[in-house]
Structure 1
C-alpha cells in the first residue's frame, strides 16, 4: 500500500516524519476521514472546509482546495488500484523545538492514508450502550478533529472489539453527547433530535448532511441538551459517521428499536445512496 507524504507517494512501511514534529510532541495536528465511492470523494468540500477552519485555529499555515486535493486522491487511488476506499487526510504541525510554540507553523506534514473498502452495501445495525467514560470538554471553544483522541480510545476500550456495539457518551452533567466515533440522532413523530454542538461533540460532516437532508424532507430538526429519558422515548435511533454512514440502533439500554426496519432510516439510507457518488457538499442539496 502506498500513502501520500508531502508531495510523494511512498510505501507505507517507508514513510517517515521527524520525532520533533509537534503533532507527535504536543498533538498539534488534525485529520479528516471520508469515503471514496467509485472514485468520488463524498462531501470532500465539507471535509476540507472543516479541516481548513481547524488549521487556522491551530495556526498551521496551509489551506486545502478541492482541485489539488482531488488530483492527489485520484493518483493515490490509481497507484493502489482502488475505486472504493477509506481515506484519512492528516495534517501535522511540522518541526519545532521541544517546548510550547507560540509562532505559526509554516511547514506542516501532509499525509493521506487509503484503505480498501468494498462497494457500499446494505444497512448495518448496532446496539447502543451508555459509557461509563464521560465525554471530555473540547480543547478550545468547539471540538475539532484533532490528534487529541485519548477520550475516544478509553471509551473504545470500555466496549471492546464488538463490531455491533456503539458506546454513547454522556457529558459530565449527564446529557447525551455522541458515540465513540459517531454522532447520535433519534426520531419521535416527525421531529429529528440530536445533541447540540455545545455539549462538546464533534460536528460531524455526516451529521450536518443528515440535518440538511431532514430539512429537505420537511422534517423538524431540534438540537439541544437531552437526557437519557428523551432518547428512550424515540421511535427510531441511529448514529452516523463518514465511514459507517447511517447506522440504525436495534436497542438502547434494553429498549428495543426497529433498527433497519425504521421508516426514516430507510429513507435516509436511500438518499445517501443517491448522493454518495456525486455530491461535493451538503450545500448542493438546496440547488436541485
Structure 2
C-alpha cells in the first residue's frame, strides 16, 4: 500500500511525520473520508469546501482546489492500482513548539490514504442501539471532522466490533444526535426527519445529499430536536455516511423495522447509484 505524503508517494511503512506536529500533540488536524467510484471522487467539491472551512477555523493557512486534490488522487490511485477506493484525506497543522500556538500554521502536513473497495452493491442492513455514552459537545461553535475522536472511539468500544450494529448517541439533554460514524434519518407519513445541527452533530456530506434528495422526491423534510420516542414511532429508519452510503435499519432498540425493504431507502439508494459515478457537488 502506498500513501501520499506532502506531494510524494511512499510505501506505508516509510510514511512518517514529526512528533512536533501539532496534529499529534494537540489534535490540530482535520480529515475527509469519501469514496471513489470507477475513478470518480463522489461529491468531492463538497468535501473540499467542508475541509477548507475547517482549516480556517483551525488557523491553518492552506486551502485546496478540485484540480489539486484530483491530481493527488490520480497519482495515489495509480500507484495502488485502484479505481474503486476508500479515501481518507488528512491535513494536520504541521510543526510547532511544545505549547499552545496562536499564530497561523503555514506548513501543514497532507496525507492521503487509499484502501480498496469492491464495486458498490446492494444495501447492507444494520441494527441500531442507543448508546449509554452521551454525544460530547463540539470543541468550537460547530463540529469539525477533526482528530478529536475519543467520544467516537469510546462509543465503538461500548457496542463492540460487530459491523452490523450502529450506536446512536443522545445529547446530554436526551435528544437524538447521530450515529458513531453516521447521521440518522427516519420517515413517518410523508415526512423525513433528521436531528438539527443545533444538537452538535457533524453536517455529513451524505446527510446533505440525502436532505436534497428527499425534497426532490416530493417529501417533506424536518430538522429539529427529537426524542427516542419520536424515532421509535418511525415507519423507516436509516443512517448515512460517505463510505457506507444509505444504510437501512432493520431493528431499533428491539423494534423491528422494514430495513432494506423500506420504500424510502430503496428510492434513495437508486438516486445514489445514479449519481455516484458523475456528481461533483450537491
Report how far residue 215 of structure 1 moved: 1.1
Report how far residue 218 of structure 1 moved: 1.6
- Structure 1 segment 27-176 matched on structure 2, within 5 A: 27-176=27-176
Per-residue CA shift, 1:205-239, capped at 9, x if unaligned? Answer: 00000001111112111000000000011010000
Distance 1:213 1:141 in 2: 27
Distance 1:5 1:190 in 2: 48
Q: Secondary structure at the match of 2:152?
A: helix
Q: What's the TM-score once normalised by structure 1's chain length?
A: 0.97
Report how far residue 75 of structure 1 moved: 1.2
**In the alignment, is residue 187 of structure 1 matched against residue 187 of structure 2?**
yes
Distance 1:191 1:11 in 2: 49
Distance 1:46 1:128 in 2: 28
Q: Which runs of 4+ in 1 moved over 6 A?
A: none
Distance 1:39 1:159 in 2: 34
Q: What's the TM-score once normalised by structure 2's chain length?
A: 0.99
Per-residue CA shift, 1:86-132, capped at 9, x if unaligned? Answer: 00000000000000000000000000000000010011000000000
Distance 1:247 1:216 in 2: 19
Distance 2:215 2:142 in 1: 24
Match in the other structure for 1:239:
239
Per-residue CA shift, 1:144-197, capped at 9, x if unaligned? Answer: 000000000000000111111000000000000000000000000110100001
Report how far residue 198 of structure 1 moved: 0.9
Distance 2:262 2:4 in 1: 40
Q: Secondary structure at the match of 2:238?
A: strand
Distance 1:141 1:44 in 2: 24
Distance 1:162 1:67 in 2: 38
Distance 2:219 2:49 in 1: 26
Q: Secondary structure at the match of 2:30?
A: strand
Match in the other structure for 2:21:
21
Distance 2:71 2:181 in 1: 28
Distance 1:132 1:229 in 2: 16
Per-residue CA shift, 1:54-88, capped at 9, x if unaligned? Answer: 00000101001001111110111111100000000
Distance 1:185 1:257 in 2: 13
Coordinate RMSD, CA, aligned: 0.4
Aligned residues: 282
- 5+ residue gaps, structure 1, are 283-288
Distance 1:29 1:53 in 2: 12
Distance 1:196 1:239 in 2: 15
Distance 1:151 1:59 in 2: 24
- 5+ residue gaps, structure 2, are none
Per-residue CA shift, 1:18-70, capped at 9, x if unaligned? Answer: 00000000000000000000000000000000000000000101001001111
Distance 1:190 1:71 in 2: 43
